[in-house]
Amino acid sequence: MSIQKNLLKLKKNVPEGCTLIAVCKTQPVDRIMEAYDCGQRVFGENKVQELIPKYEALPKDISWHAIGHLQTNKVKFIAPFVSLIHSVDSPKLLEEIHKQGLKVNRIISTLLQIHIAEEETKFGFSEEEIIELLSSHMWNNLRNIQVKGLMGMATLTENEDQIRREFRSLKIFFEKLKSRILPAQFQMQELSMGMSGDFKIALEEGSTMIRVGSAIFGQRNFPPEK
Ligand SMILES: *Cc1c(COP(=O)(O)O)cnc(C)c1O
């Protein structure tokens, strides 16, 4: 199937108010332009070294989302233009994003990544760590950060009940946070969950942003990095 057909089919499934992020990792610029020419403007990359040349080569009205694990020493390269960082998984990273945001005079939007999968290897905060983080004094200084919500990745499994359970637990935690008094940087609006294999379940469980790669661009040669 062509990129255009895939995008049209996907858009029918994505409810209004939900953002479809086209994950273009490993895709060359001309294939990304194909999606752009179909009207797609929000793209996601998980590696900074791929994100920079694509940002430079492609039209400037694209919103770029950093979706993969981010090393602190790479933040400075994306700080001038990134629209949303989905994968914030440590206080150290929050501090660095603030620092780089301050340098380029931007308030950088982020999501906090929550570990919801059973696999041990995945990045992200636990719910307990988030609760602890909320009462930290660090928020007094992080003026160049905005926290727009949460992100999570379900276990890579065929077991749909398990995937649903994991997404549901993230949605419940999201609502729980929304009902609390939060630091001023928090504007809990977005719940980023769902990829090519599980976005339908994620949408049913309340996702507001789905990150879809292979269902748009076709199979990659290797599985997504988690
Ligand atoms: C690769 C990737 C995706 C998209 O994966 P697909 O299965 O190709 O849709 C989504 N989120 C993250 C963090 C990724 O690295």
Contact partners, residue 106, CB within 8 Å, separation at least 6: 79, 80, 144
pLDDT of residue 53: 97
CA atoms of 136 and 171, how far apart (whole Å)? 23
For residue 162, what are the CA distances in angstroms to 56, 72, 156, 157, 221? 40, 32, 10, 8, 26
From ligand 1's centre to the CA of 146, what distance in Å? 23
Does residue 192 line the site of ligand 1, with CB under 6 A? Answer: no
Which token pair is 88?
Answer: 């914030």
Question: pLDDT-derived band of residue 120, with 50, 70 and 90 as boundaries?
Answer: confident
pLDDT score of 66 more than 80: yes
From ligand 1's centre to the CA of 141, what distance in Å? 32
pLDDT of residue 73: 98
b (16+ CB within 10 A) / e for 37-66: ebebebbbbbbbeebbebbeebeeebebbb
- pLDDT, one tens digit per residue, over 7-38 is 999 999 999 999 999 999 999 999 999 999 99
Dihedral of CA atoms 28, 226, 187, 24 in degrees, nearest 10, equals: 10
pLDDT score of 191 more than 60: yes
Q: What percent of the chain has pLDDT over 70?
A: 96
* Mean pLDDT of the region 113-117: 94
Contact (CB, 8 A) for 143 and 135 = no
By CB atoms closer than 10 A (0-12, 13-18, 19+), residue 163 is buried
* Mean pLDDT of the region 53-81: 98
Q: What's the half-sphere exposure (Cβ side, CA atoms, 13 Å) at 81?
A: 19
Q: What percent of the chain has pLDDT over 90?
A: 92
pLDDT of residue 219: 85
- pLDDT, one tens digit per residue, over 195-205 is 999 999 999 99
Contact (CB, 8 A) for 207 and 180 = no
- pLDDT, one tens digit per residue, over 75-99 is 999 999 999 999 999 999 999 999 9
Does residue 23 line the site of ligand 1, with CB under 6 A? Answer: yes
Contact (CB, 8 A) for 55 and 66 = no
Question: pLDDT-derived band of residue 1, with 50, 70 and 90 as boundaries?
Answer: confident
pLDDT score of 119 more than 90: no
pLDDT of residue 123: 86
3-state class of 49 per DSSP?
Answer: helix
Does residue 214 line the site of ligand 1, with CB under 6 A? Answer: yes
From ligand 1's centre to the CA of 187, what distance in Å? 25
Q: Which of 21, 64, 67, 113 has most ligand 1 atoms within 8 Å of its beta carbon, as the pocket-test mutant?
A: 67
Contact (CB, 8 A) for 144 and 98 = yes
By residue count, the chain amounts to 226
**Bridge partners for 108 per DSSP:** 145
Q: Which of 14, 21, 23, 198 has most ligand 1 atoms within 8 Å of its beta carbon, as the pocket-test mutant?
A: 23
Which token pair is 139?
Answer: 């928020």
pLDDT score of 211 more than 70: yes
pLDDT of residue 25: 95
Q: Which of 21, 25, 210 has most ligand 1 atoms within 8 Å of its beta carbon, as the pocket-test mutant?
A: 25
Does residue 213 line the site of ligand 1, with CB under 6 A? Answer: yes
* Mean pLDDT of the region 148-174: 97
pLDDT of residue 50: 96
Q: DSSP class of residue 198?
A: T
* Mean pLDDT of the region 126-146: 96
